[in-house]
Structure 1
Amino acid sequence: MKKERFEYGSGHSTPWHAHASGQLYWLSHGVMVIETELAQWTVTPGTVGWFPVGLSHSAWTPGRVQGHSIYPEPSSCCPFPSHPGIYGADAFLMSVLTRLCRSASDAGPEDYQGTLLKLLGYELSLGDPLPLQLTLPTDRRARNVANELLKNPDCALNQSQLAQRWGVSVRNLSRLFQQQTGLSFSQWRQQAKVVASLQWVLAGLPVSEVALLSGYSNVSAYIDVFRQRFGKTPGQFRGK
């Protein structure tokens, strides 16, 4: 079982790649955005990201991050979920992760580590993934529009202007988002804004500034959408 501690600066990115093992991410500071062919995932402190064997993905960091990764061998991955996901990390789960990350001299026998890994896998399998996933359209034109909005959540262009920029009709763009993400274009855009806002929420920026950076001119509207998505206000989400 390979394990590592990492620390990256703002704007760090990794190219598309896949591992011959599973991969677990969790952070002590910052936000990490991981993208697969079908979705974008946001890992924050207090959560654990799980990505199965062979899943092609890339990653980038909007700000400075610190965290850990564990790479369970395929033979150890049986109890883990078959699909990627982000899960809440309570005190018990964090205790297991901390024990697994001990140095080789303190980690204990291999069978002990294997038991902890299986326990971790069962805990994740029994839990419900958090709403930190944003499904991405697979059509090239719609994906270009999605990427534009993900990079610039405060983008002032409307749907018609975005469709024209990327060579697709408004009607087709609406159809593609509905069919390929399960959300209307406006719903998807709203969710992209609020997921993107997590980086500024966790950085401690005032909610009014976070709303503006996320493309919301109305702070109350931003807080309402955030609460609908995560079940908490921005202040509650960052523990204040």
Structure 2
Amino acid sequence: MAIFVHIEALSHVRQHETPWHSHSAGQFYWLTRGIFVIETEQAQWTLTSGSLGWFPEKLAHKARALSTVQGYIFRVNSMDNMALHNKPKICRIDFFIQAILQKLTSLAVDYPTEYLAHLTELLAYEAMRTAELSLCLPLPADRRARHIADELLEEPASQKSQAALANKWGVSIRTLSRLFMEQTGLSFSQWRQQAKLLTSLQWIDAGLAISEVSALCGYATVSAYIKAFRERFRETPRQFQVKVN
């Protein structure tokens, strides 16, 4: 049985940053507004409104609000719950999960602990069986490749070639390609595209025109951005914008 710990409101202004830390309890994040990025040593996880994120206990991470963020954090002891995975996951919130979350956040503080535990257990099973959303960006472990990854995340519209980036950070193109494939499971170009798309979510959430978002991400044409977005998320940027707002 999952041991219910407590629920707390999540509220951050845009660009709020939380430094590296970890928790003794696992955490579910339910965002009702905004874009929230949680970074571990291995990956970046982008939480959006309408998604539910799970992060196990003792996982070192830092976080940043890419827009005004509101929601809830559910802290649970996952050691007693075999349904919960020992790695992060972000899933879509369906009607049933939504109902559980709303019930948990509306209960009075004097509700029996056993009832809260049962609801949390049900939430855990539903979250773990629900398909994972494509909101994870794996990060390379190699220092040089990581510097390049960080630069591209900070400057998604950068037109620097792979050769120029490799030369800047003292690594050959061949080695850089190998590092990204071995350490992220993606080719350099695939990783760069995925980084652009995930970074673009903050501007879609902010209500910018799709043409502006496309330019901020460095796409040559709006149609190229829309095509890449649809292939990644199975919906258009406009459909995503309507959903989150």
In which range does the TM-score fall when normalised by the shorter chain? over 0.9
Check the 8 A contact 1:80/1:121 in 2, yes or no.
Answer: yes
CA distance in 2, matches of 1:28, 1:196: 19
1:97 and 2:101 equivalent? yes
How far apart are residue 103 of structure 1 and its match? 5.4
State the one-letter code of the partner of 2:129.
Answer: L
The answer for the alignment partner of 2:160 in structure 1 is 157
Check the 8 A contact 2:156/2:195 in 1, yes or no.
Answer: yes
The answer for the alignment partner of 1:119 in structure 2 is 122
CA distance in 1, matches of 2:83, 2:66: 32
Pair 1:74–1:184, CA change in 2 (3 A): closer
CA distance in 2, matches of 1:103, 1:161: 56
Select 2:221's aligned residue among 207, 213, 218: 218
State the one-letter code of the partner of 1:156.
Answer: Q
1:146 and 2:149 equivalent? yes
| Aligned positions of 1:46-195 closer than 5 A | 46-102=50-106, 104-105=108-109, 108-195=111-198
The answer for the alignment partner of 1:236 in structure 2 is 239
State the one-letter code of the partner of 1:120.
Answer: L
State the one-letter code of the partner of 1:239.
Answer: V
Q: Deviations over 1:151-194 (max 9, x none)?
A: 11111211111112212111111111111111111111011001
How many aligned residue pairs are there? 239
State the one-letter code of the partner of 2:189.
Answer: S
The answer for the alignment partner of 1:2 in structure 2 is 6
Give the TM-score taking structure 1 as reference length.
0.95
State the one-letter code of the partner of 1:96.
Answer: I
DSSP-derived class of the 2:242 partner: coil
How far apart are residue 217 of structure 1 and its match? 2.0
Unaligned runs of 5+ in 2: none
DSSP-derived class of the 1:119 partner: helix
CA distance in 2, matches of 1:19, 1:37: 15
State the one-letter code of the partner of 1:97.
Answer: L
CA distance in 1, matches of 2:104, 2:195: 34
CA distance in 2, matches of 1:111, 1:15: 34
CA distance in 1, matches of 2:109, 2:64: 32
How far apart are residue 206 of structure 1 and its match? 0.7
DSSP-derived class of the 2:63 partner: strand
DSSP-derived class of the 1:70 partner: strand
State the one-letter code of the partner of 2:149.
Answer: A
CA distance in 1, matches of 2:109, 2:38: 32
| Structure 1, 71-80 or 207-216: larger mean CA deviation | 71-80
Unaligned runs of 5+ in 1: none
How far apart are residue 104 of structure 1 and its match? 4.2
CA distance in 1, matches of 2:69, 2:226: 25
Check the 8 A contact 2:66/2:202 in 1, yes or no.
Answer: yes
How far apart are residue 76 of structure 1 and its match? 4.9
Structure 1 runs, 4 residues or longer, greater than 4 Å off: none
1:19 and 2:19 equivalent? no
CA distance in 1, matches of 2:165, 2:79: 46
Check the 8 A contact 2:9/2:73 in 1, yes or no.
Answer: yes
